[in-house]
Chains A and B, each alone.
Chain A
Amino acid sequence: MGITFSDITSSAPLVSLVLFSFLTLIVESWGKDKPVLSYWVSLLGVGVSLALSFGHLGAGIPVFGGMLLQGGFAGYCNLIFLSSAFLTILLSRGYLERMECHRGEFYILILFSTVGMMLMAGALNLITVFLGIELMSVSLYVLAGFMRKKVRSNESALKYFLLGAFATGFLLYGIALIYGTSGTTDLVAISKLFPQLSHNPIFLVGCGLLVVAFSFKIAAVPFHMWAPDVYEGAPTTVSGFMSTGAKAAAFATFLLVFVRVFDIAGTSLSQVIAVIAAASMIVGNVTAVAQTNVKRMLAYSSIAHAGYMLSGIAAANVEGETGILFYLLAYTFVNVGAFGIVSIMERQDDKKLNFEDYEGLSARRPALAVLMTIFMFSLAGIPPFAGFFGKYYVFLAAVKANLTWLAILGVLTSLISVYYYLRLVVLMYFREGDADLDHSVPRRSMIALAIAAISIVVLGLYPSLIVDLTRSFFKI
């Protein structure tokens, strides 16, 4: 059971990120009020971890006595979280400086929550799942309330915390019930018992509670109520981070537990998840239509996308898994980018967040308008952008798993979504307006947005790059 040296080397991306988050903490406490230093250290930390992750895409290896999976699936998910963190850090500096709350703790918290996400994606034990979720969530609670002088931000943090704590209770209860029926928290061991346990109602209730807790984290209906309020109140770049990194982490755990370890294909759990997916698609898309605030629209859109991705989990087959993994990567770039542009447009005191504030943007800020258009097209699932293939793969998975109704519903609700995504494009390009910025956009923000846009186009033109990779992870 002891920790060996190979445990450390196999989990190099994780370990290095932990060490860098400590370093950022030290740097931050040493040099008071020099957040720029923390910015650089954290950026370096994420960069190093990202570079190391590329070397850890091979076969997955259980480490730390089977508590954690590193490499393979987990390695790929790490890429998603780290990309999200990297772009968020790049985009946040200018935003926080403009909002006059630039503090080094921001970066420390981003790093800590990323560590939590990495633990979640590699969890081979329900205890690790819990540990990861809490580490991620507690950091995010604070991040949501990071603008502590703003009432909205405080409200957002409090709501997220209260409901998050509520969900954690159910998670723990679910874990307890599963432990009670199977006698272990080790996921691999449980998977061996799954065939006989799957008819035990107490075990099923335990699994159901896990579904609830994970659905809360990915903001799926009816456990989504927090998302619009929290996304709206939180600092905009944090909303971007929550809707991508945190969502991806929850999906990674979801996949790990319910597709890889428990084979839920064709069981009642799969039906329940399909219903949650359907409800998320409908509620997310329909409500997004009625929004006037872009941040809130993106929040509802993120609920809808959770629904699309959940249909891949309900399908619980190879296509579903590879589809979700591709979708998550694409969605990460798209949504960090979209929230990034919203953060650039935003002014002090929640100004300039409405649809009409984007009228005529293309005339004065053509680059921003083009980037936003790419993000919106990708969200709407218009080829050749990456969003299209994401949807294509998960719906294909649903059809293959005899969930054709879900795929049809997905396509129909996507049609609704085109309305509100393209509305923004229409406003930017075809309306007279005086949308403009009164500040210059820092180069690092533009670089981050460009990285996101290029990745979307590349993934859209060349999806097999990722799909072939992810397919190779299937089955540990």
Chain B
Amino acid sequence: MLESYVPIFVMIAGGVIFGVVMVKLNEWFGPHRPNDEKLSTYESGMEPIRSARERFSVKFYMVAMLFILFDIEVVFLYPWAVSFKQLGLGGFVTMAVFIFVLFLGYFYVWRKGALEWD
């Protein structure tokens, strides 16, 4: 049974070896002449002026989190849509319940003011 995994192990091993070898080769052959300019952060040509470790407003996280939540849930609609005909009425009812629960969450978020920016 374990034999069937051999190709996968070979693949993984090949990948790791290839990656390590490439990086090491680069390090070995490439010239090393560092100076301040070279070691500074590359910011699309902008002058880096402050630390990048700053506190962001929690609002960003809020929106991002809610987006991810509803985004992922909505993904479930795709497989359902594809097999809509096979699932029939039962599938429709189940999905309606699912959407209802999703909507409850949305309602809560909305009423609690999580969607308001100010």
Decide if A and B touch, CB cutoff 8 A.
yes
Pick from A20-28, A128-136, A329-337, A415-423 the stretch touching chain B.
Answer: A20-28
Bound Cα distance from A248 to B101, whole angstroms:
27
Report which of B90, B94, B101, B107 forms a contact with A29, defined as CB distance below 8 A. Answer: B107
Chain B 92-118 interface mask (CB, 8 Å, partner A; 1/0): 001000000100100110111000000
Decide if A25 touches B104 in the complex (CB within 8 Å): yes
Tell me if A30 is interfacial: C-beta within 8 Å of chain B. Answer: yes
- Complex alpha-carbon distance, A26 and B100, angstroms: 12
Chain B interfacial positions (CB closer than 8 Å to A):
90, 94, 101, 104, 107-108, 110-112
Q: Are B90 and A26 in contact (CB under 8 A)?
A: no
- Contact, CB under 8 Å: A30 / B111: yes
B90–A2 CB distance below 8 A: yes
Q: A3-B94, A22-B101, A29-B108 are in contact. List 15 more A-B contacts (CB 8 A).
A: A2-B90, A3-B90, A22-B104, A25-B104, A25-B108, A26-B104, A26-B107, A28-B108, A29-B107, A29-B110, A29-B111, A29-B112, A30-B111, A32-B111, A32-B112
Map CB proximity to B onto A1-33 as digits: 1 under 8 Å, 0 otherwise.
011000000000000000000100110111010
B99 to chain A, nearest CB (A): 13
Quick one: which of A27-52 are within 8 Å of B by CB?
28-30, 32
CA distance A28 to B108 in the complex (A): 8
| Complex-state Cα separation, A2 to B87, whole angstroms | 10
Residue of A nearest to B112 (CB): A29
CB distance from B110 to the nearest CB of A (A): 8
Q: Mark A156-175, 1 if CB is under 8 A from B, else 0.
A: 00000000000000000000
The distance from the CB of A131 to the nearest CB of chain B, in whole angstroms, is 14
CB nearest to B88 among chain A residues: A2
CA distance A25 to B107 in the complex (A): 9
**A32 nearest CB neighbor, chain B only:** B111
By a CB distance below 8 angstroms, the chain A residues around B101 are: 22
- Report chain B residues within 8 Å CB of A32: 111-112
Q: A442-467 vs B: 1/0 string, CB under 8 Å?
A: 00000000000000000000000000
CB-CB under 8 A from B94, the residues of chain A are: 3
Measured in the bound complex, the distance between the Cα atoms of B112 and A3 in whole Å is 34
Question: What residues of B have a CB within 8 angstroms of the CB of A28 in the complex?
Answer: 108
Nearest residue, chain A, Cβ from B113 = A32
Closest Cβ of chain A: how far from B94's Cβ, in Å?
Answer: 8
A-B residue pairs, 5 tightest by C-beta: A29-B111, A29-B108, A2-B90, A25-B108, A22-B104
A416 to chain B, nearest CB (A): 46
CB distance from A306 to the nearest CB of B (A): 34
A108 to chain B, nearest CB (A): 9
Q: Enumerate chain B residues within 8 angstroms of A26, measured Cβ to Cβ.
A: 104, 107
CB-defined contacts of B107 to chain A, threshold 8 Å? 26, 29
Contacts of A2 in B (CB 8 A): 90
Once the chains are docked, how many angstroms separate the CA of A266 from the CA of B94? Answer: 44
Which chain A residues border B104 with CB–CB below 8 Å? 22, 25-26
Tell me, rounded to whole Å, the shortest Cβ–Cβ distance linking B43 to chain A: 32
CA distance A232 to B110 in the complex (A): 34
- Complex CA–CA separation, A173 to B112 (angstroms): 37
| Assembled-state Cα–Cα distance A32/B107 (Å) | 13
Residues A350-403 near B (CB distance < 8 A): none
- A180 (CB) vs chain B CBs: closest residue: B1
In angstroms, Cα B104 to Cα A30, docked, is: 11
A146 → chain B closest CB, angstroms: 15
Min CB–CB distance A158 → chain B (angstroms): 15
Using CB atoms, name the residue of chain B closest to A28: B108
Measured CA separation A130–B27 after assembly (Å): 46
Which residues 393-442 of A sit at the B interface, judged by CB distance below 8 A?
none
The chain A residue sitting closest to B93, CB to CB, is A3
Minimum CB–CB distance from B96 to chain A (whole Å) comes to 13
> Can you show 17 pairs from A to B with CB atoms below 8 A apart?
A2-B90, A3-B90, A3-B94, A22-B101, A22-B104, A25-B108, A26-B104, A26-B107, A28-B108, A29-B107, A29-B108, A29-B110, A29-B111, A29-B112, A30-B111, A32-B111, A32-B112
